[in-house]
Amino acid sequence: MGKTKVLFVCPHGAARGPMAAAFLRAYGGESYEAYSAGVTPREIEPLTVEVMQERGIDISGERARGLNEYLGREHFGILITLYHPAEPEHPIFPGVGTRLQWIFEDPGEVEGGEEQRLAKLREVRDAIELRVRGWLAERAAQPGPAPSSDVS
C-alpha cells in the first residue's frame, strides 16, 4: 500500500504548515507524504527556517504554496488545518478523506523584536512537534482506519 498524503494548511504557509510537514516527514516519512499550503501564501518566514534548523531539520529549500497548486492535481487522504476555525481564511478542499483541526497560535502575530518572535516560533514549533509525534503514536496504536475527526 502507498503512503498516505497529508496536507497541512494555515493562512499563509509561512510557519505552521511548513513546520508540521517537516516534522511529519522526519517522524512518519515511511508511511506519509507531507505537504503544506497557505490559503493566501506568503514567503516562508526566515526565522522559521532558523528554529527548524535548531531541531536538525532543514526547510531552507521549501517555498510557501497556495491551495490552488494542489486543487484538482493531488488527492490527499488527510487535510489538517493548523489554525482556529473562526479565522476568516478557511479552505474548501473537495475530495479529502479525513479532515482534522489542530489549533496553534499564529507566530506571525507576535509584536516585538527578533528575540520575541524567535521565542514564539520556538513555542509553536515545540507544540507542533509534540502534536505530530503524538498523532503518529495514536495512529500506530489504532487498528483499522483512522477516525474521521480530531479537534484539539
DSSP designation for 88: S
- Decide which of 3.40.50.1110, 1.10.287.3510, 3.40.50.2300, 3.40.50.300 is the CATH code for 1-88+122-152: 3.40.50.2300
> So where are the chain's domains?
1-88+122-152
Grouping H, G, I as helix, E, B as strand and the rest as coil, residue 111 is coil
Pairing, β 32-38 against β 4-10 = parallel
Residue 118, class by beta-carbon neighbours within 10 Å (0-12 exposed, 13-18 middle, 19+ buried)? middle
pLDDT (tens, 9 = 90+) of the chain, 152 residues, equals 689 999 999 988 899 999 999 999 999 989 999 999 998 899 998 999 999 999 999 999 998 898 889 888 888 999 999 987 655 555 666 677 788 999 999 888 888 889 999 999 999 999 999 999 999 999 999 876 544 444 44
H runs (alpha helix) in the chain: 16-28, 46-53, 114-141
pTM: 0.88
